[in-house]
Structure 1
Amino acid sequence: MFLTRFTIDPARRGARKLLASPQAMHAAVRAAFAAPDDHERPGARTLWRLDTTVGGSIQLYLVSPGRPDLTHLVDQAGGATAEAWTTRAYDGLLASLHSGQRWAFRLTANPTHSGRKTAESKDTQRFGRLRAAEQTQWLVDRSARCGFGVATQQDGQPNLMLHRRQTLTFNRGMHKVTLTTVTYDGVLEVTDADAFRQALTLGIGHAKAYGCGLLTIAPAH
């Protein structure tokens, strides 16, 4: 597994096109892998996320089974930096995980629930959770099966900050796709190392092709 960071220059026309459409970004990420096994393997798949830094730059993060080649993205949307992207081995971190560890984390996700559009509808579909309290509870409920627990603060509330709460609409072929997304920053504790590794390599929730599901961790201070 590999972890990659790529800097996007939002002033470039190609970058603006990619940033406006998760479908276009998905295609650009897919094009970074020559072999299908480098993009997706049993127990691991390519995940991506866009982060905006305090200084306003935009970072594309990838976790992937194979090493990506992002030359085409440099030509289309890259910044004028000496190092267009960095890729590091991820397996060492995955192997070091064990229960009881505490990590700071970031996750952009598509919190949803299933239901019927009308009382007369026979089929169920997914609906985005729109309220902050519901979005928080979605992650708290899901965390146990993903091998971690969200840490609590002194007041007993989850140690979480929600930001970039938005609803995205974009075209996928002849159809419109609408996604509710939210970015979570917080602190977690590993409860099941194997399940946690799976969450890191397979993602959390739905809409993984469109920039959701990638959980990244850093030392918690």
Structure 2
Amino acid sequence: MFLSRFRVNTARPGARRLLSSPQAMHAAVMSSFPHILPSDSPTPDAPRVLWRLDQLARAEVLLYVVSPDRPDLTHLVEQAGWPAVAGPENPGWQTRPYAPFLDRLTAGGRWAFRLTANPVHTIRRKEGEPRKLTAHLTPVHQMSWLLDEKRQERCGFRVCEKPANRRLLPEGTTHHKRPHPGDRYELTVRDTRSLSFDKSRSRTADSRRDRPVTVVTATFEGHLEVTDADMLRRTLTQGIGRARAYGCGLLTLAPLAQPGRRTA
């Protein structure tokens, strides 16, 4: 497994096109792997290609990629990087083996984390109707999605709780009848976006009638404790939740012992 980081040159037209369409970015990321064909789809337990965009500032956007093979991002450098300064020593991106980090994970370890996900649930609007997949739209419900006990158990971690002296309310909740996360947990929703794009690559008569794909994403930051190292390793290499092809599901960790370090 490999972890790669690429800084996007947001001033370039190619970068703006990629940033405006998760479908286009997905295609660009998958083109980095010569041995993966467009028709290939991973089996449920196989490592897969995951990616995420982190917008740290207006002109600082980082693309992270976790992949079973070492990527060649030359085409991304040419379209959306700084090709004039790229060279043998600095190709325009950084890639490092992921296995040494994954092997360090042990139960009980605590880490800072970042995750962009597609929090969804199913609802039935009328009795007798089939259940419909619907996105969570508020930070409270998005946090509850990640804090779901079964989801955390499957992922091999639990989100850490804040010490009592750092909570605004004694129990860390904000409603006495229907408690929700409030400030009980070391968890924040940094950004929520609704992305709408055309999934079709070709503008045929049939594809023009297709409805655009809409994906609601939420970016979480916080602290977690490892409960099952093997399950967490699986989560880090296979992702969390839906819409993984569109920049969701990639969880990254950073040590808590180094204040100010970005999760990556």
Provide the TM-score with structure 2 as the length reference. Answer: 0.79
- 1:92 is matched with 100
CA positional deviation for 1:52: 1.5
Matched, 1:14 2:14: yes
Asked if the contact 1:164–1:183 (Cα under 8 Å) also holds between the matched residues in 2, the reply is yes
What stretches of structure 1 of length at least 5 have no aligned partner?
Answer: none
Distance in 1 between the 2:235 and 2:162 partners?
24
Higher strand share: 1
Asked if the contact 1:40–1:64 (Cα under 8 Å) also holds between the matched residues in 2, the reply is no
CA positional deviation for 1:161: 1.5
Distance in 1 between the 2:103 and 2:32 partners?
26
Comparing 33-42 and 2-11, the one that deviates more: 33-42
- 2:65 is matched with 62
CA positional deviation for 1:120: 6.0
Asked if the contact 1:18–1:25 (Cα under 8 Å) also holds between the matched residues in 2, the reply is yes
From 153, 157, 168, the equivalent of 1:148 is 157
Matched, 1:136 2:139: no
What stretches of structure 2 of length at least 5 have no aligned partner?
Answer: 173-183, 201-206, 258-264
What does the per-residue CA deviation read over 1:82-133, in whole Å, with 9 as the maximum and x for residues that have no partner?
43100000011111111000000000000000123x4166433311001111
From 202, 207, 211, the equivalent of 2:247 is 211
User: Which structure has the larger Rg over C-alpha atoms?
Assistant: 2
Runs of 4 or more above 6 Å deviation: none
- 1:5 is matched with 5
Provide the TM-score with structure 1 as the length reference. Answer: 0.93
Aligned pair count reads: 220
- Give % identity: 50
Asked if the contact 2:10–2:59 (Cα under 8 Å) also holds between the matched residues in 1, the reply is no
CA RMSD of aligned residues (A): 1.9
- 2:189 is matched with 162
Comparing 81-90 and 120-129, the one that deviates more: 120-129
- 2:260 is matched with none
What does the per-residue CA deviation read over 1:48-83, in whole Å, with 9 as the maximum and x for residues that have no partner?
000122473111000000000001111111136543
From 42, 46, 50, the equivalent of 1:43 is 46
